[in-house]
Amino acid sequence: MATRTRTPRRVVKALLAPALALGATVGLASAPASAAVWNSCEQYGNTGLNGYTLYNNIWGSGAGSQCFWANSGTNWGVWANHPNTGGIKSYPDSKKVINKSITSLGSLTGSYNVTVPSAGSYNTSYDIWDTDYDYEVMLWVNKTGAVGPLGTSQGTVTLGGHTWAVYKGNNTANDVFSFVRTSNSTSGTVNILPILKWIKDTKGWFGNETIGDVQFGFEITSSSGGLDFRANSATVSSS
């Protein structure tokens, strides 16, 4: 996550972490054979393409090397080599800015098709923020390895075309509501708006928040030896 912008926890933590020694060229050979429109191995490398903002976003302590390539705002990927240690190292992602209140939204959907490794520890997730970055809604569509959501279990619910295990927590900076799909998926569509309305109207965990960023990416804890993560197609649409 006016004249002053509050930054989401991932970037806040990154700014407090020591500078990382990242390889300038390692990993670019893992990109598709066709020349990428944009690539970066910089810790906070970012660009705008087709209405999306793409972030390399290496924010966790103890991170290794990571390089981001993009053919478009919706077709991109990373090569990441993060050590097999605890703690999130990065969240390479694409971001679409919505800036509409929940009640003013007619629809909010995300569609994804990803290729992810069988090794490592990570999740593939939507990360949804209100404009003040007081609330974070995470939708995990797949996970591998020693990763788990923040907070305590709130049971299961079927919403937005999927069945989720729900967790509620706080990371001292903001409340976090995590929805973990009960089985892994590498492609599909999530109807996000009913999930936000369920949090607001059924649970009362927040009010009529203005939704700012809808991000989609790979939250990587470890990828020792170098692993590829690809968003073959990742789109967000709203009305």
List pLDDT tens digits, range 54-89: 999 999 999 999 999 999 999 999 999 999 999 999
What the chain holds in terms of domains, given with CATH numbers, is 9-238 (2.60.120.180)
Rounded average pLDDT over 7-21: 41
**So what's the pLDDT on residue 18?**
37
Which DSSP state fits 104? Answer: G
Rounded average pLDDT over 29-57: 86
| Cβ neighbours around 170 below 10 Å, total | 11
3-class state of residue 202 by DSSP? helix
**So what's the pLDDT on residue 52?**
98
pLDDT at 158 over 80: yes
- In a 13 Å sphere around the CA of 18, the CA atoms on its Cβ side amount to 7
**So what's the pLDDT on residue 142?**
98
**So what's the pLDDT on residue 91?**
98
192 backbone dihedrals φ, ψ, rounded to 5°: -75, -35
* pTM of the predicted protein model: 0.88
| pLDDT bracket for residue 197 (50, 70, 90) | very high
Quote the Cα angle for 192-197-202, to 5°. Answer: 135
Residue 150 identity = L
pLDDT at 98 over 80: yes
